[in-house]
Amino acid sequence: MDGLIISLIFLVLGYVFGKLAERRHYRSIHAREEILVRLPTTSCKKPIKTSTPINHAELVHGHVVISIDYFKRLLAGLRNFFGGSVRSYETLLDRARREAVLRLKESCPTANEIINLRIETSSISKGGSGDRVGSVEVLAYGTAIYYEQASTQPSLL
């Protein structure tokens, strides 16, 4: 009986705080993506502007670990029973990926573009005892390109 009450409390807490956290996170992602849209990011191996001389290049990376809340984990468990798309995990992964790319961009604000962007996902603390930890780690890495006279020439793209 006690266990049931505790898990019910967890459910309510998870639902309320998880929803709030997700909404707040999406708001911050949208705002920051708008600011950083001037920094083009591609998965190509060559810079977009081939004629412009390159000053230097460096490896940049950004990563984040995000966890799912108690309510959504239960929901996903139920989904597992019936099959179909698991919406709660979709938003978790979407948030994690976008956050990782944003952090990568924020780590090199003066770069002109980022090429060969790779995104890698791994679930950490998998295979633990009892309840699985529904947390994912997303790592985004790429090469930041700085063109000559980067400061005087605004990005055209």
CA angle 48, 52, 53 (to 5 degrees): 120
Which of residues 39 and 83 has its CB atom nearest to other proteins in the complex?
Answer: 39
Which of residues 36 and 74 has its CB atom nearest to other proteins in the complex?
Answer: 74
Instruction: Kindly tell me the sign of the dihedral angle through the C-alpha atoms of 82, 129, 16, 95.
Output: negative
What is the binding site for other proteins (CB under 8 A)? 10, 13-14, 17-18, 21-22, 25, 45, 47, 53-59, 61, 63-70, 72, 99, 115-116, 118, 120, 122-129, 133-135, 137, 139, 141-143, 145
Dist. CA 108–CA 102, nearest whole Å: 10
Which of residues 67 and 86 has its CB atom nearest to other proteins in the complex?
Answer: 67
- Shortest distance, CB of residue 86 to other proteins, whole angstroms? 15
